[in-house]
Amino acid sequence: MESFGFRFLGFELFQLIWMLFPSFRKTINTKLKTRIPYLRTRFMKPIQEFFPLLNQSRNVVITTHQKPDADAMGSSLALKHLLVQLGHSVTVISPTNWAGWVDWMPGTKEVMNYEQDKQKGDDVLEKAEWLFCLDFNIFHRTKAMTDKLQALSCIKILIDHHQEPDSPSFDYGVSDTSKSSTCEMIYDFIIASGNADKINNEISQCIYAGVVADTGSFRFSSTHAGVHTLVADLKSKGLQHGYVHEKLFDNFLENRLRFTGHVLLNRMQVFYEYNTALIAIPKSDLLKYNIKTGDTEGLVNYPQSIQGIKLVALVIDRDEERKWSFRSKGEFDCNTFARKYFEGGGHYNASGGRSSDSLDGTVQRFKEVIKENANLLQ
Ligand SMILES: [Mn+2]
């Protein structure tokens, strides 16, 4: 009798906690969904099922990964320009600041920087009925916003092309690693939801910028035929592609070019026995050349022009951690490499990672692991 009463009380307590604490409910739900593959595929509904909801006017927040690049910012703004035309109130919130060379994109001025004004960001997030998460696969890519986003109970929609998305955390979504860019996926979203007529110059410029950036100007293997069809469509709608190229590639200050010269001359090592090139940048270089957010973008691509190079690694000594970028050609899986050795991940031929070790320490580790991977690098 006594033990029955105890169990009964235990059950009631559990029920009470379940009802009172949505975050507890969410944790249990997420755990279940992660463990049981059937539930996992059940819970993120296909994006097509979301389309019918688009004609109800809503408070919408669009967010993306920290330090948004051209694809992250371009996809967020392109989607915003669509949703505004459909009658929604839309705010784009970036977890952090972004590179100055992204500022030209139509709508960037209204983007909120969460790091700069957390309170304002939280207020907007709390009113959100829909949360779109673009160009990232898991909430911790939003840095300081992570806990807040996880705790929100609004409808969450994922649109992304990175590997192994945290699908249980989203209500609707599309995750497709065969897509060149999130911008391409926003184009697909616009067409598939029957809104082709809404593609204006602002949307075209944003989408084109992200596609160009994420395909390395149409050279990566992710540039499937559909990418060129998309561009042809944007061109037929009046896109001035030269303008976007100029804004993306001819829009820097002198110090950045001098820094690039310095880095290629003094900070690059080539290990021909492993077909690998490494660039390691100490903090003193960033200070000396007054390097800002985004100024190191694209640096990792230079050593790929050396004959025979299969893997390029770039590591930068940032305040809080050492940030790695990896690029590969052909059959070397950068995603697995970054996951296994440098707490990161990404795509097959392009990924990122981190280390809390010193710059020298993490470089030493890199030299050891390329030896381990010697066979794969031949
Ligand atoms: Mn992307």
pLDDT in tens, 227-237: 999 999 999 99
The two structure tokens encoding residue 227:
């990418």
Range of the domain at 268: 254-372
Contacts of range 293-299, beta carbons closer than 8 Å, 24 or more positions apart: 293/67, 293/96, 293/97, 293/98, 293/99, 293/100, 294/67, 294/69, 294/98, 294/99, 294/100, 294/101, 294/102, 295/99, 295/252, 295/255, 295/256, 295/259, 297/69, 297/99, 299/260, 299/263
CA of 109 relative to ligand 1 center, distance in Å: 21
Confidence of residue 6 (pLDDT cuts 50, 70, 90): very low
Are residues 245 and 317 located together in one domain of the fold?
Answer: no
Are residues 219 and 368 located together in one domain of the fold?
Answer: no
The CATH number linked to 271 is 3.10.310.30
Nearest 5°: CA angle at 315, between 312 and 317? 170
Please tell me the predicted confidence (pLDDT) of residue 107.
98
Are residues 89 and 232 located together in one domain of the fold?
Answer: yes
pLDDT digits over 237-273, tens only? 999 999 999 999 999 999 999 999 999 999 999 999 9
CA of 64 relative to ligand 1 center, distance in Å: 10
Residue 200 pLDDT > 70:
yes
CA of 78 relative to ligand 1 center, distance in Å: 14
- For the segment 51-74, the average pLDDT, to the nearest whole number, is 97
> Which domain-ending residue is among 249, 271, 299?
249
HSE of 222, CA atoms in CB hemisphere, 13 A: 22
Residue 28 included in any domain = no
Are residues 218 and 269 located together in one domain of the fold?
Answer: no
Query: Which of 37-46, 67-76, 237-246, 258-267 is the least confident region?
Result: 37-46
- For the segment 306-325, the average pLDDT, to the nearest whole number, is 96
Q: Is the pTM of this model over 0.75?
A: yes
Residue 32 included in any domain = no
The domain total for the chain is 2
Are residues 189 and 223 located together in one domain of the fold?
Answer: yes
CA of 346 relative to ligand 1 center, distance in Å: 10
CA of 99 relative to ligand 1 center, distance in Å: 15
Residue 378 included in any domain = no
Are residues 228 and 306 located together in one domain of the fold?
Answer: no
CA of 162 relative to ligand 1 center, distance in Å: 8
Residue 271 included in any domain = yes
Nearest alpha-carbon partner for 139 in 75, 186, 95 = 95
CA distance readout (Å), 302 to 3, 30, 115, 196: 71, 41, 31, 37
The CATH number linked to 100 is 3.90.1640.10
Give just the sign of the alpha carbon dihedral 161, 164, 167, 169: negative
Please tell me the predicted confidence (pLDDT) of residue 294.
85
% of residues, the chain, pLDDT over 70:
89
Residue 151 pLDDT > 90:
yes
CA of 288 relative to ligand 1 center, distance in Å: 30
- For the segment 219-224, the average pLDDT, to the nearest whole number, is 91
Confidence of residue 141 (pLDDT cuts 50, 70, 90): very high
CA of 22 relative to ligand 1 center, distance in Å: 32
CA of 72 relative to ligand 1 center, distance in Å: 6
Please tell me the predicted confidence (pLDDT) of residue 10.
46
Are residues 227 and 192 located together in one domain of the fold?
Answer: yes
> Which domain-ending residue is among 249, 271, 303?
249
> Which domain-ending residue is among 195, 228, 249?
249
CA of 84 relative to ligand 1 center, distance in Å: 23
Are residues 269 and 316 located together in one domain of the fold?
Answer: yes
Are residues 294 and 176 located together in one domain of the fold?
Answer: no
CA of 254 relative to ligand 1 center, distance in Å: 27
Average pLDDT over the chain reads 91
CA of 247 relative to ligand 1 center, distance in Å: 18
E strand segments, 272-359: 276-281, 311-317, 322-328, 345-346, 350-355
**Residue 238 buriedness (CB in 10 A; 0-12 / 13-18 / 19+):** exposed
Are residues 271 and 218 located together in one domain of the fold?
Answer: no
Residue 60 included in any domain = yes
Are residues 245 and 311 located together in one domain of the fold?
Answer: no
